[in-house]
């Protein structure tokens, strides 16, 4: 990464919306791979563009890209941008180098700009690392805009600090004009200092956080297996989210998650972001993480137990 490739922005979502406005025209298609962060839809539709979905395939307990469907939709002359989520939110998939290279080659072949949202890149499972899209190949580097921020990993969203990385000079000039026209290129008094502090002094804290989230993920999976076997967690390698599979045909009915799970003691079902027969839950919000603190005082999840809520 070169220093001059980077530009400050007040947030990843404002950057995405600016890119959609500047790099596409009204009525064109912006491709996304669902299930995906729901705000992508807003950034596309609110700017007069069309959402074009290329759904991920769920097979053998994991999500993967349907490359036949993807290329068919990228080949549509009306498709001019693809928003890639890397790592993928909410399923927690870390895309491998071969997959990213294939996406990059297809997008360049069909003249589709890739906007890679990499805000979750620091929140990988212990021992796992993500691969930046622009680092994979020339196709990826010269045809992409990458969004980065310390806000997810270090909980700094309130300080409005993020960046875009654009190696290609022509794209970089367009994005520079876009974020300045939209007035999302000026940092506040704390934004830059907070980002520098997080990235230069937060390594030990971040490693501890990743271990904490992984422990929460393990506990949540076991709790689901024991208490709500009708819900199944998708194995994730990144983010602090746990993507849950639901029984087929759940959506479109009047049943609630508590109805599906049977409302066992300690039921944690909440309203969730959803696409298809799945829902997501944040592993960062299952607190406290260590199992001994969950069970202290009652020896288990008894009816009326408040141990999980209080930390006692």
Domain positions in the chain: 3-200, 209-310
Cα 7 to Cα 70: distance, rounded to the nearest angstrom: 30
The alpha carbon of 155 is separated from its chain's Cα centroid by a whole number of angstroms, namely 15
Cα 298 to Cα 216: distance, rounded to the nearest angstrom: 20
> What HEC string does the chain produce?
CCHHHEEEECCHHHHHHHHHHHHCCCCCEEEECCCCCCHHHHHHHCCCCEEEECCCEEECCEEECCHHHHHHHHCCCCEEEEEEECCCCCCCCCCCHHHHHHHHHHHHHCCCEEEEECCCCCCECCCCCCCCHHHCCHHHHHCEEEEECCHHHHCCHHHCCEEEECCCHHHHHHHHHHHHHCCCCCCCCCHHHHHHHHHHHCHHHHHHHHHHHHHHHHHHHHHHHHHCCCCEECCCCECCEEEEECCCCCCCCCCCHHHHHCCCCCCCCCCCCCCCCEEEEEHHHCCCCCHHHHHCCCCCCCCCCCHHHHCC
pLDDT at 254: 52
pLDDT, tens digit, for every residue of 72-88? 999 999 999 999 999 99
CATH code, 3-200: 3.40.640.10
Tokens of 35: 């299930």
Top-confidence residue, 263 or 68: 68
pTM of the model: 0.82
Answer whether 13's CB lies under 8 Å from 21's CB: no
pLDDT at 24: 97
pLDDT, tens digit, for every residue of 169-210? 999 999 999 999 999 999 999 999 999 999 999 999 999 999
Which of 81-85, 95-99, 226-230, 267-271 is predicted with the least confidence, judged by mean pLDDT?
Answer: 267-271
Rg (CA), the chain: 21
Cβ partners under 8 Å of residue 52, min gap 6: 29, 30, 31, 32, 73, 76, 79
Other C-beta atoms closer than 10 Å to the C-beta of 127 total: 8
Cα 289 to Cα 183, 272, 283: the distances in Å are 40, 21, 9
Q: Is the pLDDT score of 312 beyond 50?
A: no
């Amino acid at each position: 990464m070169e220093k001059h490739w980077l530009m400050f922005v007040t947030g990843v979502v404002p950057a995405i919306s600016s890119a959609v406005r500047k790099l596409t025209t009204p009525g064109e298609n912006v491709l996304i791979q669902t299930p995906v962060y729901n705000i992508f839809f807003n950034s596309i539709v609110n700017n007069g563009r069309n959402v074009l979905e290329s759904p991920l395939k769920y097979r053998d307990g994991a999500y993967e890209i349907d490359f036949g469907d993807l290329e068919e939709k990228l080949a549509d002359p009306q498709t001019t941008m693809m928003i890639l989520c890397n790592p993928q939110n909410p399923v927690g998939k870390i895309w491998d180098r071969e997959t990213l290279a294939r996406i990059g080659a297809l997008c360049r072949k069909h003249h589709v700009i890739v906007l890679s949202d990499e805000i979750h890149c620091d929140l990988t499972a212990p021992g796992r690392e993500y691969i930046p899209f622009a680092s994979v190949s020339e196709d990826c580097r010269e045809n992409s805009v990458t969004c980065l921020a310390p806000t997810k990993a270090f909980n700094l969203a309130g300080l409005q600090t993020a960046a875009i990385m654009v190696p290609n000079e022509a794209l970089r000039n367009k994005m520079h004009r876009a974020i300045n026209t939209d007035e999302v290129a000026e940092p506040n008094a704390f934004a830059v200092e907070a980002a520098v502090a997080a990235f230069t002094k937060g390594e030990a804290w971040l490693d501890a956080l990743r271990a904490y989230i992984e422990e929460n993920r393990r506990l949540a999976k076991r709790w689901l297996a024991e208490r709500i076997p009708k819900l199944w967690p998708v194995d994730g390698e990144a983010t602090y989210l746990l993507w849950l599979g639901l029984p087929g045909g759940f959506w479109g009915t009047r049943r609630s998650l508590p109805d599906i799970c049977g409302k066992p003691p300690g039921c944690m079902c909440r309203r969730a972001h959803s696409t298809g027969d799945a829902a997501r839950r944040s592993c960062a919000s299952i607190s406290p993480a260590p199992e001994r603190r969950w069970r202290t005082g009652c020896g288990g999840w008894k009816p009326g137990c408040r141990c999980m809520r209080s930390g006692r």
